[in-house]
């Protein structure tokens, strides 16, 4: 099992970051505009991505844990085969004026090339989360920076 | 042992990417302007970083392997304790108009918080490499985007 790890510090409160991780409006403003569902514990969230106006896939998550200002844990229930069963965890802590986000995408079966891609792409989306909270504007899909040469990603 | 993994696709040739990974001028244009040394096999490279005009540390690498248009492998010989002995590998392959870079920072002893930070920061620097080759302009230190609340990083 291998994990994707990231860390960003955001000039914000952990409460505000938690809101961006657990509300439809918050998630839609940094990860993907096409977000549906319920981000509280026990909820399910459907994230869908598009390129040139065409939907290209996405992920369904079950919210296993959501503790205000502390952490959020999702389990991937549908999406690319490599993602199914993996877990995505955000741990939050306040450090002075900054909310520190420790991110883990846990439980990949193998360090395949797609995992390399997703690691870089998660960093880009976490920078979008940071931008959203610090400037009021994120870059959720379909406005996300492209990182690969394979079309929409 | 845990690794940091990333992947970017760059509208460029693998030869041009290889040059940006193995020449002082290339490295200085995407990772840190304060790069000294020799990027060919057997060489040593000193990367130093600064913030607000003050040097804040860096890394020394030995170039273990450098195969044109294929791969580059560095060993960290000095720097933060967590980095010493780890290896940084860039594998290149051409896919149509894009050079695909598979990146690994291998051999971390533990998934410490600093590793989370470095993972995100590597993604930001790989986006700088991509930008350098696609637009002629990267964002090497000290012009790099800050990702944490801890000062210069």
ipTM over 0.85? The verdict is yes
Taking CB atoms and an 8 Å cut-off, how many pairs form between chains A and B?
104
Q: Which of A11, A98, A148, A150 to mutate to test the interface with B (most CBs of B within 10 A)?
A: A148
Burial B34-65 (b: 16+ CB within 10 A, else e): bbebebeeeebbbbbbbeeeeeeebbbbbbee
| Chain A closest-CA separation from residue B93 CA (Å) | 12
Min Cα–Cα distance to chain A from B64, Å: 22
Q: What is the dihedral of CA B106, B112, B115, B117, to 10 degrees?
A: 170
Return the residue matching tokens 């392997």.
B65
> Where residue A149 falls among pLDDT bands split at 50, 70, 90?
confident
Among A3, A116, A123, select the one facing B102 at the smallest CB separation: A116
Q: How far is CA B78 from the centre of its chain?
A: 15
Question: Which of A5, A9, A120 lies closest to B115 in CB terms?
Answer: A5
pLDDT tens-place string over residues A62-111: 999 999 999 999 999 999 999 999 999 999 999 999 999 999 999 999 99
Question: DSSP assignment, residue A131?
Answer: H
Rounded Cα distance between A146 and A124, Å, is 9
User: Residue B1: helix, strand or coil by DSSP?
Assistant: coil
This prediction's pTM = 0.97
DSSP class of residue B32 equals B
Task: Tell me how far apart the alpha carbons of residues B143 and B127 are, in angstroms, rounded to a whole number.
Answer: 13
Residues 6+ apart with CB under 8 A from A68: A15, A18
Which residues of chain A are within 8 Å of residue B7 when distances are taken between CB atoms?
A: 113, 116-117, 119-120, 147-148
Which residues of A fall within a CB distance of 8 Å from B120? 6-8, 123, 126-127
Task: Tell me if A147 and B124 make a contact (CB, 8 A cut-off).
Answer: no
A54-67 and B2-11: which strand pairing?
A: unpaired
What 8-state DSSP symbol labels residue B146? P
Taking each helix axis from N to C end, the angle separating B113-135 and A113-135, rounded to the nearest 10 degrees, works out to 90
Distance, in Å, from the CA atom of B59 to the CA atom of B105, rounded to the nearest integer, reads 13
Rounded to the nearest integer, the mean pLDDT of chain A is 96
pLDDT tens, chain B, 153 aa long: 789 999 999 999 999 999 999 999 999 999 999 999 999 999 999 999 998 889 999 999 999 999 999 999 999 999 999 999 999 999 999 999 999 999 999 999 999 999 999 999 999 999 999 999 999 999 999 999 999 876 657
Q: H helices within B54-106, ranges in order?
A: none
For residue A151, the model assigns a pLDDT of 60
Cβ contact, residue pair A116, B103, below 8 Å: yes
Which residue spans within A31-151 are E strands per DSSP? 34-37, 44-51, 54-67, 71-78, 87-95, 98-108
Q: Which of A119, A66, A108, A57 is CA-nearest to residue A84?
A: A108
Question: In whole angstroms, what is the distance from residue B36 CA to residue B55 CA?
Answer: 14
**Three-class secondary structure of residue A62 per DSSP:** strand
CA angle (A118 as vertex; A115, A123 as ends), nearest 5: 130
List, for residues A102-134, the tens digit of each pLDDT value: 999 999 999 999 999 999 999 999 999 999 999
Q: What is the pLDDT of residue A67?
A: 98
Q: Give me the pLDDT at residue A152, please.
A: 57
pLDDT of residue B151: 60
């Amino acid at each position: 099992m291998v994990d994707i790890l990231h860390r960003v510090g955001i000039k914000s409160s952990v409460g505000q970051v938690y809101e961006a991780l657990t509300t439809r409006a918050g998630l839609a403003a940094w990860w993907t505009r096409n977000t549906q569902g319920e981000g509280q514990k026990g909820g399910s969230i459907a994230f869908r991505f598009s390129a040139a106006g065409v939907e290209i896939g996405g992920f369904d998550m079950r919210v296993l844990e959501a503790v205000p200002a502390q952490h959020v844990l999702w389990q991937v229930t549908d999406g690319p085969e490599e993602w199914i069963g993996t877990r995505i965890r955000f741990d939050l802590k306040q450090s002075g004026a900054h909310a520190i986000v420790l991110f883990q995408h846990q439980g990949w079966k193998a360090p395949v090339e797609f995992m390399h891609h997703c690691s870089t792409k998660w960093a880009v989306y976490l920078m979008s989360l940071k931008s959203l909270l610090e400037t009021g504007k994120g870059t959720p899909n379909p406005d996300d920076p492209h990182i690969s040469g394979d079309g929409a990603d």
